[in-house]
Structure 1
Amino acid sequence: MELVIQNFDNQVIEESNIVTSEKRHFIEANTIEVSLEHLKNECTIPVFAKDNETTISHYEFITTTKNVIQEILGYQGDLIPDIRVSHVIKGRVPTAIGKPASELLDSEKTIYYERMAFVFEIPEITEIVNGNKLNLCVGGVRAYNQENLFSKKSIEKFKVFVGFQNKVCTNLCISTDGLLDDLRVSSVYELGERIHTLINQYDKKEHLNRMKKMNDYFLNENQFAHLIGKMKLYPFLEKEFKKTLFPLKVNDSQINTIVKDYHLDTNFSKSTDDKISLWNVYNLFTEANKSTYIDSNLERNVNAYEFMNYIGNLLENNQSNYFLHTNIIAFS
């Protein structure tokens, strides 16, 4: 209960200081939205082929996370997960063998989703960061493509996180200590224990302070253009030189999205004097990251957070390097 008292204290928030938007997805890529009941009642559960032991299902993962949230926070509200899935695996019941696909009845079809991501948003736990409303959220990712389902039952892999969701754009804001990207467990009980530990160890104050500090630093247009150009060159650098640089994970199409939104985004584009805060750049990155597939989305989200802190440290110490030149002057 210490988490509730010290880290998630209630705040009085002026509604005039809150910027919100209509509901949008926390991830796009090639995902679709499904309900928890659909996963429970209409999807099969993959098994390990050599011993026919079941995997931990998407439904069990989500409900286990919900139970942990309710236990730790003493939460009494109605927690409804936002669930996105991709890469549907289709099958059929034995009695439908040989039947043309066009003639299959719904009762003869089976499906499950290879990849699934979900978020529980807790709107009662809210912070205002740089004029944006951020709600606490807890979620996870399961990707069966990262399991060897052709073997005997073994340790299973999950990804879980705790952080915030920016209500302006539904972008996830996840810090390094708020993510377990290689959680390996053998039971639902162990999964719950590890989620419990992650939430309790998450340093909310440090995360919020670092995000607020991003608004203290700005890039002029030439510095931003230099940064984008270096990001474009980054994938083609010699391996030995690349090892000396920040390990950037953004891809080329996402860089193009960042550039477009730098000019056009309603909330996070450059200002009229052609400057942009690192907070706005961070949100351009996390918005572009929504195009990342489920199985690597969280890692890239955290990479964006670390990269912005890295650039902020360079600006604070007036240091130049491959990505940033602090002495570039803005020309009109």
Structure 2
Amino acid sequence: MENLFPIIQNGVHNDPKKERYQRKPFIEANSLEVSLSHLQNGCIIPVFSKDNERTISHQEFIDITMIACSEALGGLMVEHPEIRVSHQIKGRTPNAIHKPVPELLESEKTIYYERMAFIARVPSIIETIGGNPITLTIGGVRSYNTENLYQKKSPEKFKVFIGFQNLVCCNLCVSSDGFIEEMKASNMEELFKKIYSFVESFQAEKQLVMMRQFSQYCLTDHQFAQFIGRCKLYQALPKMQKKLIPELSFNDSQFNTVVNDYYHDESFCKNELGDINLWKLYNLFTQANKSSYIDTFLQRNLNAIEITQGLVEALSSPVSKYDWFLS
């Protein structure tokens, strides 16, 4: 089982130098971009302390996801992954146990990353919405802090998604049908089977139809101001009242980013009349979401599409649970 899924750093991927669009990070806050080879060769693998059973490593999770995606899509090529990490855990080798920190050699230091997120594009599946090219994208998040590493080995938790990436801004577009918040697996074979089944069942056209609909609806300058005002009120609402309103998981600084980009973003700002269509508003939210930490990034990305769908409902239906945001 150890060699069932070989490392594919030189396998199914494109040459990043051949990308047609300028690549921007898909997430920025408190994270660092690393290579697959760094995870393979520069990081140790945590274990469950009571039985010394190793965890599924970050690089194995990435490899399994990419292979499962390629096979589920009939052998389509998957590009080289973009990997972001945070919360570095440092250690040292036994021979350096008594050395002062300034005297430690690089070979005597050990590290691994508690949290990791990655994406990989499927470049042959590309569509256009609102004049923006979007491509099918697979990815996932792994957080060791959700595992009890002080006990015996147990099923490990992973977050997996398949959706689209806007190539203009590299914002991710994730829907509820394309996101599993907690996928549990005890070994790599089980993880592969679950990811394969998940990717195979994903209905890409359903998400595309939904997102194309966003371009057909607009908020006026007044409605946008009303919406943002309600969003800022949301966190201060009494608990009982908040339960009656759809969830909003973005924070105040992210709403400030949305407002700033409403006026100044080159691709998604308002028009000369102050109107903004919901496709652009959706991208303002996914852009602001790049400031989220790895462990909340996917949930907020999903919330962005839920809120935008809710605005469509509020604008097109006489009665909607999202009316509060525009009233």
TM-score above 0.5: yes
| Counterpart Cα distance in 2 of 1:256 and 1:21 | 27
Equivalent in the alignment of 2:14: none
CA-atom RMSD in angstroms: 1.2
| Counterpart Cα distance in 1 of 2:120 and 2:140 | 9
Runs (5+) with no aligned partner, structure 2: 1-19
* Inter-CA distance 78–255: structure 2 relative to 1 (3 Å threshold): closer
Residues 21 and 169 in structure 1, CA contact (< 8 A), matched pair in contact too = no
Equivalent residue runs for 1:42-53 within 5 Å: 42-53=42-53
Deviations 1:42-75 (A, max 9, x none): 1000011111111110011011012112212233
Equivalent in the alignment of 1:330: none
- Are 2:199 and 1:235 equivalent residues in the alignment? no
Equivalent in the alignment of 1:329: none
Q: What amino acid does structure 1 have at the position aligned with 2:111?
A: I
Equivalent in the alignment of 1:248: 248
Equivalent in the alignment of 1:110: 110
Residues 142 and 159 in structure 1, CA contact (< 8 A), matched pair in contact too = yes
Equivalent in the alignment of 1:174: 174
Q: What amino acid does structure 1 have at the position aligned with 2:57?
A: S
Residues 117 and 294 in structure 1, CA contact (< 8 A), matched pair in contact too = yes
| Counterpart Cα distance in 1 of 2:295 and 2:118 | 12
| Counterpart Cα distance in 2 of 1:261 and 1:279 | 14
| Counterpart Cα distance in 2 of 1:266 and 1:181 | 33
| Counterpart Cα distance in 2 of 1:174 and 1:76 | 20
Deviations 1:230-268 (A, max 9, x none): 111101111111001011111111011001100000000
Deviations 1:53-98 (A, max 9, x none): 1111001101101211221223364631110101110100000012
* Inter-CA distance 199–76: structure 2 relative to 1 (3 Å threshold): closer
Name the SS for the 2:111 alignment partner: strand
Runs (5+) with no aligned partner, structure 1: 1-19, 326-332
Name the SS for the 2:235 alignment partner: helix
Residues 29 and 292 in structure 1, CA contact (< 8 A), matched pair in contact too = yes
Equivalent in the alignment of 1:322: 324
| Counterpart Cα distance in 2 of 1:229 and 1:21 | 35
Q: What amino acid does structure 1 have at the position aligned with 2:104?
A: L
Q: What amino acid does structure 2 have at the position aligned with 1:294?
A: I
Name the SS for the 1:216 alignment partner: coil
| Counterpart Cα distance in 2 of 1:236 and 1:22 | 39
Residues 78 and 123 in structure 2, CA contact (< 8 A), matched pair in contact too = no
| Counterpart Cα distance in 1 of 2:181 and 2:76 | 28
Residues 70 and 78 in structure 2, CA contact (< 8 A), matched pair in contact too = no
Equivalent in the alignment of 2:156: 156
Name the SS for the 1:322 alignment partner: helix
* Inter-CA distance 136–78: structure 2 relative to 1 (3 Å threshold): closer
- The Cα of 1:228 is off from its aligned counterpart by 0.6
Equivalent residue runs for 1:72-151 within 5 Å: 72-75=72-75, 77=77, 79-151=79-151
| Counterpart Cα distance in 2 of 1:34 and 1:287 | 21
Equivalent in the alignment of 2:192: 192
Identity of aligned residues (%): 51
- The Cα of 1:21 is off from its aligned counterpart by 4.6
Equivalent in the alignment of 1:12: none
Equivalent in the alignment of 1:267: 267
Equivalent in the alignment of 1:58: 58
Equivalent in the alignment of 1:280: 280
- The Cα of 1:140 is off from its aligned counterpart by 0.4
Equivalent in the alignment of 1:303: 303
Q: How many residues align?
A: 306
Q: What amino acid does structure 2 have at the position aligned with 1:231?
A: C
Residues 31 and 85 in structure 1, CA contact (< 8 A), matched pair in contact too = yes
- The Cα of 1:318 is off from its aligned counterpart by 4.0
